Amino acid sequence: MKIITALSATLLLASHAFAQAPATSAASAPAPVKPVTPAPAAAPATPAAPTPPPAPAFAPANLTPAGVRSMSATCSSCHGTNGVSAGGAIAGLAGLNRDYFIIQMKSFKEGKREATLMHQIAKGYTDAEVAAMADYFAAQKR
């Protein structure tokens, strides 16, 4: 009888310890899972790399009078409103000879005229757009 009691007591203790064992391991179980979860988060970066975004499409040239005026207005931040220089270091474009204007823009584009900015800006315009702006600025009064 004593043996049975001792045995059952041992079993009881053992089962108690056993019952606690999974409880502690269950409590610590989610811990190793957590560091695993951020790994898939890094995965989306891989499929994004082989597919670069498509090159931006340029807006079609708008060579209507309003379009040319609007295009030429982008030059006014440096060259003055309607190409009339505010008297700063940057030359005005108003009343500039049409052919001279076209030659300068072409020279900037081809890197034949040294420039701080215009070599970049000139590359953004087609020959037709440059010609349209040449007409526009030639017609502006200084």
Cβ 56 to ligand HEC, closest distance in Å?
Answer: 18
Q: In this complex, which beta carbon is closest to ligand HEC, that of residue 8 or of residue 97?
A: 97
CA of residue 34 relative to chain centroid, distance:
33
Closest to ligand HEC by CB, 22 or 95: 95
**Closest residue by Cα to residue 133 from 80, 83, 77:** 83
- In degrees, rounded to 5, the angle at the alpha carbon of residue 96 between the alpha carbons of residues 94 and 98 is 125
Say whether residue 82 binds ligand HEC (CB under 6 A). no
Q: Which stretch binds ligand HEC (CB under 6 A): 11-19, 23-31, 32-40, 72-80?
A: 72-80
Amino acid identity of 85?
S
Q: In terms of residues, how long is the chain? A: 142
Interface with ligand HEC by CB under 6 A: which residues? 74-75, 77-79, 90-91, 93, 101, 104-105, 115-118, 121, 133
